[in-house]
């Protein structure tokens, strides 16, 4: 486990980066920070290297990995064509939390990473440590979030350690990540691009650059099969059952007392605004409603923190389904296994 200061100049010259890059070049797996969440990286050109990612995470074999790059020029090595809209988005939001799905060139990337699909998701992370590793190795790096499959994605090196210690070759600790939720996954193989996973770049930001887009209908309806393989799994879940509650804080408090009377230990996920209003077995404030970016930034850490309290039930407030709120609600709804009640 290496600590690096992400703000120093010339990170590529640092011994920690050299050691981590050497492991990646030797087809080992290493976790590193990006601006969204920590990733678990491996050489995307090598089947054995990529297989180690699936092994360490316990990841379902049909779930494709995002390919990380540091230089836009290499995209054409991996894809058949780059549509005009994709080019405009790369210009506007790379490096940044936007993964672009394009038609793949056969026979270049490891099929283990793309799981036999005809498309590939590519992104350029906006984090000095990730970019230094990509530059130093000069490899495309396949990297899912560096959590055990099903657990909340890691936003600190500590989270990665808790999930994957003993299963991977190293962790580069660059401090907490910024955005806190994963990249937006946008399918650009269609004339009208489709959001497969909401994330750090909002639908509105994308439409400002390329006009009308759509959203995979499965994101709004748990009955439909999502276009992105990873979106069908239960994910991000804390140990206790999580339920989202539409209602006023007084109603939520009444429900907490009711459940406690039934003998359950109950937690509540709220924000700074209501932190001192609730009485429960555990109250965690996740950022402030005045700044939804702060909620996104601490959501996964909050979900993990509930695990220390041995709860039976966690009730969560809802968030507005707009801007970064769309990604927050998408993750919360999945963490809750689609359990939402109105009171």
Block residue for tokens 């020029």: 73
Beta carbons of 312 and 239 less than 8 angstroms apart: no
3-class DSSP assignment, residue 16: helix
Q: Rg for the chain (alpha carbons), in Å?
A: 20
Q: How many residues does this entry show for the chain?
A: 343
148 binds ligand TXA per the rule CB under 6 A = no
Which span (32-40, 256-264, 302-310, 332-340) binds ligand TXA, by CB under 6 A? 32-40
Nearer to Mg ion among residue 151 and residue 259 (C-beta)? 151
Out of 44, 56, 185, 266, the residue judged to bind ligand TXA by CB under 6 A:
185
> 46 to 65, contacts with ligand TXA by CB under 6 A?
63-65
Q: Which two tokens stand for residue 9?
A: 């100049």
37 binds ligand TXA per the rule CB under 6 A = yes
Out of 28, 182, 281, 317, the residue judged to bind ligand TXA by CB under 6 A:
182
228 binds Mg ion per the rule CB under 5 A = no
Please report the beta strands in 174-261, taking only residues with DSSP state E, as ranges in sequence order.
184-187, 194-197, 214-215, 241-246
- Please, what's the b/e burial string for 295-321 (b: 16 or more CB within 10 A of its CB; e: otherwise)? bbbbbbbbbbbbeebebbbbbbbbbee
Block residue for tokens 């390919």: 67
119 binds ligand TXA per the rule CB under 6 A = yes
Peptide bond into 174 cis (omega under 30): no
Q: Furthest-apart CA pair in the chain: how many Å?
A: 62
Beta carbons of 36 and 181 less than 8 angstroms apart: yes
> 63 to 92, contacts with ligand TXA by CB under 6 A?
63-66
**What are the helix (H) ranges across 26-164?**
47-57, 75-78, 84-93, 111-114, 128-137, 157-164
193 binds ligand TXA per the rule CB under 6 A = no
> 279 to 338, contacts with ligand TXA by CB under 6 A?
none
Out of 120, 186, 206, 284, the residue judged to bind ligand TXA by CB under 6 A:
120
Q: Which listed option, ligand TXA, Mg ion, none, makes contact with residue 101 (CB within 5 to 8 Å by class)? A: ligand TXA
> Interface mask (CB under 5 A) for Mg ion, residues 143-182, using x and -?
--x-------------------------------------
> 84 to 103, contacts with Mg ion by CB under 5 A?
none
46 binds Mg ion per the rule CB under 5 A = no
d(CA 233, CA 243): 17
Nearer to ligand TXA among residue 125 and residue 193 (C-beta)? 125
Residue nearest to ligand TXA (CB): 230
Out of 178, 229, 247, 323, the residue judged to bind ligand TXA by CB under 6 A:
229
Residues that bind Mg ion (CB under 5 A): 145
Residues that bind ligand TXA (CB under 6 A): 34, 36-37, 39, 63-66, 97, 99, 101, 117, 119-121, 125, 143-145, 182-183, 185, 196-197, 228-231
């Amino acid at each position: 486990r290496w600590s690096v200061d992400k703000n120093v100049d010339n990170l590529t010259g640092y011994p920690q980066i050299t050691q981590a890059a050497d492991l990646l070049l030797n087809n080992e797996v290493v976790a590193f920070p990006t601006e969204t969440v920590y990733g678990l990286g491996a050489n995307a050109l090598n089947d054995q290297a990529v297989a180690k990612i699936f092994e360490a995470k316990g990841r379902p074999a049909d779930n494709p990995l995002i390919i990380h790059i540091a230089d836009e020029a290499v995209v054409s090595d991996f894809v058949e064509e780059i549509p005009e809209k994709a080019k405009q988005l790369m210009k506007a939001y790379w490096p940044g939390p936007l993964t672009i799905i394009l038609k793949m060139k056969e026979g270049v990337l490891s099929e283990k990473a793309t799981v036999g699909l005809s498309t590939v998701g590519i992104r350029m992370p906006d984090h000095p440590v990730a970019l230094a590793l990509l530059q130093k190795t000069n490899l495309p790096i396949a990297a899912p979030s560096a959590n055990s499959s099903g657990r909340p994605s890691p936003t600190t090196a500590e989270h990665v350690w808790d999930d994957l210690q003993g299963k991977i070759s190293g962790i580069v600790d660059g401090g907490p990540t910024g955005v806190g939720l994963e990249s937006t996954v946008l399918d650009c193989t269609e004339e009208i691009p489709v959001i497969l996973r909401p994330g750090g770049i909002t639908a509105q930001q994308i439409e400002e650059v390329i006009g009308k887009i759509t959203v995979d209908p499965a994101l709004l309806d748990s009955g439909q099969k999502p276009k992105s393989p990873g979106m069908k799994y239960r994910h991000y879940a804390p140990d206790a059952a999580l339920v989202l509650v539409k209602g006023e804080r007084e109603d939520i408090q009444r429900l907490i007392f009711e459940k406690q009377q039934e003998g359950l230990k109950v937690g509540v996920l709220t924000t700074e605004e209501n932190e001192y209003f609730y009485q429960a077995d555990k109250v965690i404030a996740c950022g402030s409603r005045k700044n939804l970016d702060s909620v996104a930034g601490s959501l996964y850490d909050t979900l993990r923190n509930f695990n220390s309290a041995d709860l039976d039930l966690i009730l969560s407030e809802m968030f507005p389904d707009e801007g970064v709120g769309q990604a927050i609600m998408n993750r919360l709804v999945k963490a809750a296994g689609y359990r939402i009640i109105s009171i």
